[in-house]
Chains A and B, each alone.
Chain A
């Protein structure tokens, strides 16, 4: 039960939402799906905030393609991502991420991709997957709209570079091509992820790697972009290369995240196998994708 009385608004479009937010940005909390904010309000964790602006009716739930760029609205639920054919065919990594979100059907119906990024919890699935896709966050504020890479938006555990008077509107993602792999390690069906790995590998006409991306989620305070292109780009893919890339992931973990479900030591220890499994999956998907193009 929410102890403190608060003002609740349900704006019908982005302008109205921005206007409501501008009235008192310091004490207003934005609600994307509410799976994080509402329990916090119930538990009294964020009762200092006296206003809630609910974005769910603000028209920010669209998924559409504009040429090579796919727009994903901030209030798209995981269920909407799962159901979208556009996402399944052009951003299958995002589809795979949404399908596996912890918490079951109720959370997937309620939780939103924008909410997940704005909450910036280290254990969440969405930030890492979006970083792997080089997604740009579209942010609206009093001065207009700006774009920033998701990887730059996430500045720390539970911290973003969003200003208090700004609203995360959605994401712009270019279809990466190639094949993807997504691997998640967690302790039980109800557990936050301990570590996730999102990999994208693309092969050129000669079968050499021309794009290699690997992002670890849950392992550090923010998604860890592993510089796998350094070891993979221009090479022919094989087991040794994948092992080297996975080792790269392990080497990249310097300050692992620690919480009540796993220590940083454990997260660092599983970085390599989790990365390896995502890369293996991405390898076979990339090979398959290339075959289908030949």
Chain B
């Protein structure tokens, strides 16, 4: 930072700079994938199964093939002659799971309602849709299993017969002897929580275009992906091509949330189709399709042992998650991440967790923020509130008693994670600065006397982020190139991509500061495998961590050169040159200065005279790698695959209508700690989105199926995302505990807010219901579930 923290001291990093291209989004001038029209482009439309579990007897496409404009109609069996199964973004086998080998269209059976079974390619989307109506799919129905417990029972219908079971993955986490610690503790509690199935539901569904150039033998792929380089590798393996034959372009996306990482069948399907019909092929998913991908749907049961003073000593739990159909997206990792994220930021003597992940005839799980970690928050936050209830202590005090103290970081958890840093009690202090908590409790007591059900709930989260998964193309490192042209303009090429959160602007802020240029002189290129260096895209909240970190290193290399050239021109030591405001100036002598464009031009043109030993170019490519991850198993066989641990504490105030079960969220106070914030506006934006996702999952968002496995919630009229009027004004405060392992002190900020919102709401509603003796443990907390609990308590 020494290069820039002088002169008037103004830096871009840390400031709420607006998005460099925000006006383009607001004015509708961004070209999303569906806006791309290639010459000769044709359209793929999928024919879907109406049954949730069935053997494919035959696909009769004769009538469809005769339709005007139809180029091809293909079944899974026909496509399987051209390619094998699609590669897995993450493979469950190394962590003890089942082998997943999915074709881009199923060959012999369908395992969820709405699963594609055939594809029509036609000159127009309309023609393809019309022809798709004429494809006759003959299916032989099989018994359907939708419930995870039922799927694991003896005699359950098997989705993938070759596994001999519906258990996709299982495992344990934790250390210490729960039973021994529990026996020595004063009290025990137990409980259960169930989360409903939610859908990532980005505004823009998935969209892909593949353009096979038969003469050049090159594939150009455009589409909604978070990970262009990993996808290129995956496509190459699938298509039997070299990576250099594939060019992946990722245009701006309308939201991802993990859903658009890679591993979806249609990403591969369009490539096969383009090769077969020798035309560019576009596939755009409809809303119904996107809502078939889900997450959560997990049942957790737990026991906790604690002392009379509120000290929680041991927790034991069992997680049973419903994955729906298998997927190649690595979604199974959410169950694994859930187990590792336990027992959150609490110092326990013993923790034991068992998890099981079952496949069922629902749509597949998709990666979705916060990638299963909501399970850890819900479970531990419920434990804390139940302990408070049993001991008569205040829930805030119980948390204070159990949090890992701020002076004990880095802290090794019982599941083998090494938490980098944190000040959890500090978060509570921050919240209490904003909210007069004792007064709220007084108000609650008064309201209860009037028969009103007010509830206050805390929700705390610690989010393992910046994942580095052995064996998978998900890493806590990235490459950036920074170059300055002879005019002094800067280009940043980076392997991280933006899901629309503004990380591109934040990286520009970092680079502009280090080079002392104005942001208007910087441009950034992301999402293009021919232009950008290799990168893992945007995944696991690591855009600024690794993209910003590597860009900072590369910019520093250039700054060194600029200072040397400017020093030579101004006849002072390079160390005295300060880069700021587009100028290279002598420290404390601002009148002795040169525009950076002049300095850059001089290096390129007369560098040999000015600084003969310096390479006369301004370009650097650097890698930044998080060093605190560990792939070698420890003595318990555990790896440490996460590099930062952002955290947050929320308090929600709700009122429950005892006659209808309707919940009104009156206040939502939130304190976050994601370390140093490069752009607080973007951080607030990320958390706002996370909070709304969490509130939706807590209150209303739920994918439901009928008994035959047909999804009933297939539009936004039935899958209820919160709208602006459904949420209160958010009260958000930040605490900054810099990561000791990142050069900028940043931590992840992409997954925060979901888990602690869910936990805060669950606790607040239960707090509200306490005078009635009622309790709810199933999310979303629909009015119906709440009213059922009330009526049950009264009965």
Seen from chain A, the residues whose Cβ lies within 8 Å of a Cβ on chain B are: 1-5, 39, 43-44, 47, 104, 185, 187-192, 194, 259-263, 265-266, 269-270, 272-274, 276
Within residues 78 to 132 of chain B, which ones have a CB less than 8 A from any CB in chain A?
Answer: 125-126, 129-130, 132
Bound-complex Cα distance A274 to B718 (A): 21
Bound-complex Cα distance A52 to B698 (A): 41
| B198 nearest CB across to chain A (Å) | 14
11 contacts between A and B (CB under 8 A): A1-B125, A43-B288, A185-B662, A191-B720, A260-B713, A262-B782, A262-B784, A265-B784, A266-B783, A266-B784, A269-B787
Extra 9 A-B pairs, beta carbons < 8 Å, given A188-B721, A270-B660, A274-B660: A5-B126, A187-B782, A192-B717, A192-B718, A259-B718, A260-B712, A269-B791, A273-B659, A276-B659
| B702 nearest CB across to chain A (Å) | 9
**Is B723 on the interface with A (CB-CB < 8 A)?**
yes
Within residues 435 to 484 of chain B, which ones have a CB less than 8 A from any CB in chain A?
Answer: none
Which B-chain residue is minimally distant from A194 (CB atoms)?
A: B783
Which A-chain residue is minimally distant from B724 (CB atoms)?
A: A189
Contact B704 A260 (CB under 8 A): yes
Within residues 265 to 288 of chain B, which ones have a CB less than 8 A from any CB in chain A?
Answer: 286, 288
Contact B129 A188 (CB under 8 A): no
Contacts of B723 in A (CB 8 A): 104, 188-190
Within residues 748 to 795 of chain B, which ones have a CB less than 8 A from any CB in chain A?
Answer: 782-784, 787, 791
Bound-complex Cα distance A92 to B699 (A): 32
Please list the 4 inter-chain residue pairs (A to B) with the smallest Cβ-Cβ separation, ordered nearest first: A3-B129, A273-B659, A189-B723, A260-B712
Contact B787 A3 (CB under 8 A): no
Contact A263 B722 (CB under 8 A): no
| A103 nearest CB across to chain B (Å) | 8
Contacts of A43 in B (CB 8 A): 286, 288, 715
Contacts of A269 in B (CB 8 A): 787, 791
Which A-chain residue is minimally distant from B45 (CB atoms)?
A: A3
Q: Please encode chain B, from 689 to 702, with 1 for each CB lying within 8 Å of some chain A CB and 0 for all others.
A: 00000000001100
Bound-complex Cα distance A252 to B723 (A): 34
With contacts A3-B126, A3-B133, A269-B791 taken as known, whether A188 is within 8 angstroms of B699 at the C-beta atoms is yes
Contact B787 A44 (CB under 8 A): no
Bound-complex Cα distance A139 to B286 (A): 37
Q: Which of B659, B704, B716 contacts A270 (CB 8 A)?
A: B659
**Is B725 on the interface with A (CB-CB < 8 A)?**
yes
Contact B130 A188 (CB under 8 A): no
With contacts A1-B129, A260-B704 taken as known, whether A189 is within 8 angstroms of B726 at the C-beta atoms is yes
| A45 nearest CB across to chain B (Å) | 11
Bound-complex Cα distance A189 to B660 (A): 17
Contact B784 A263 (CB under 8 A): yes
Contacts of A39 in B (CB 8 A): 715
Contacts of B126 in A (CB 8 A): 1-3, 5
Contacts of B717 in A (CB 8 A): 190-192
Bound-complex Cα distance A1 to B722 (A): 26
Contact B133 A188 (CB under 8 A): no
Q: What secondary structure prevails in chain A residues at the interface with B?
A: loop
Which B-chain residue is minimally distant from A270 (CB atoms)?
A: B660
Contact B718 A260 (CB under 8 A): yes
Contact A188 B787 (CB under 8 A): no
Which B-chain residue is minimally distant from A266 (CB atoms)?
A: B784
With contacts A39-B715, A190-B720, A270-B660 taken as known, whether A4 is within 8 angstroms of B133 at the C-beta atoms is yes
Q: What secondary structure prevails in chain B residues at the interface with A?
A: loop
Contacts of A44 in B (CB 8 A): 129, 133
Q: How many residues of B contact A (CB 8 A)?
A: 33
Contacts of B699 in A (CB 8 A): 188
| B353 nearest CB across to chain A (Å) | 33
| A47 nearest CB across to chain B (Å) | 7
Bound-complex Cα distance A189 to B692 (A): 13
Contacts of B782 in A (CB 8 A): 187, 262
Contacts of B133 in A (CB 8 A): 3-4, 44, 47
Bound-complex Cα distance A1 to B720 (A): 23
| B204 nearest CB across to chain A (Å) | 16
Which B-chain residue is minimally distant from A273 (CB atoms)?
A: B659
Contact B700 A188 (CB under 8 A): yes
Contacts of A192 in B (CB 8 A): 717-718
Bound-complex Cα distance A44 to B289 (A): 14
Contact A4 B130 (CB under 8 A): yes
Contacts of B132 in A (CB 8 A): 3
Contacts of B130 in A (CB 8 A): 3-5
Contact A187 B783 (CB under 8 A): yes
Contacts of A47 in B (CB 8 A): 133
Contact B787 A270 (CB under 8 A): yes
| B429 nearest CB across to chain A (Å) | 34
Contact B722 A266 (CB under 8 A): no
| A106 nearest CB across to chain B (Å) | 12
Contacts of B662 in A (CB 8 A): 185
Which B-chain residue is minimally distant from A262 (CB atoms)?
A: B784
Bound-complex Cα distance A244 to B568 (A): 94
Bound-complex Cα distance A192 to B782 (A): 14
Bound-complex Cα distance A266 to B130 (A): 40
Which A-chain residue is minimally distant from B785 (CB atoms)?
A: A266
With contacts A43-B288, A187-B720, A188-B726 taken as known, whether A273 is within 8 angstroms of B129 at the C-beta atoms is no
| A281 nearest CB across to chain B (Å) | 15
Which B-chain residue is minimally distant from A185 (CB atoms)?
A: B660
Bound-complex Cα distance A262 to B660 (A): 12
Contact B713 A191 (CB under 8 A): no
Contacts of A261 in B (CB 8 A): 718, 720
| A218 nearest CB across to chain B (Å) | 13
Bound-complex Cα distance A47 to B131 (A): 13
Contacts of B713 in A (CB 8 A): 260
Within residues 245 to 298 of chain B, which ones have a CB less than 8 A from any CB in chain A?
Answer: 286, 288
Which of A5, A104, A185, A263 has the most chain B CB within a 10 Å cutoff?
A185
| A280 nearest CB across to chain B (Å) | 12
Which A-chain residue is minimally distant from B720 (CB atoms)?
A: A188
Which A-chain residue is minimally distant from B702 (CB atoms)?
A: A260
| A184 nearest CB across to chain B (Å) | 11
Which of A3, A192, A265 has the most chain B CB within a 10 Å cutoff?
A3
| A257 nearest CB across to chain B (Å) | 14
Contacts of A260 in B (CB 8 A): 704, 712-713, 718
| B751 nearest CB across to chain A (Å) | 23
Contact A188 B791 (CB under 8 A): no
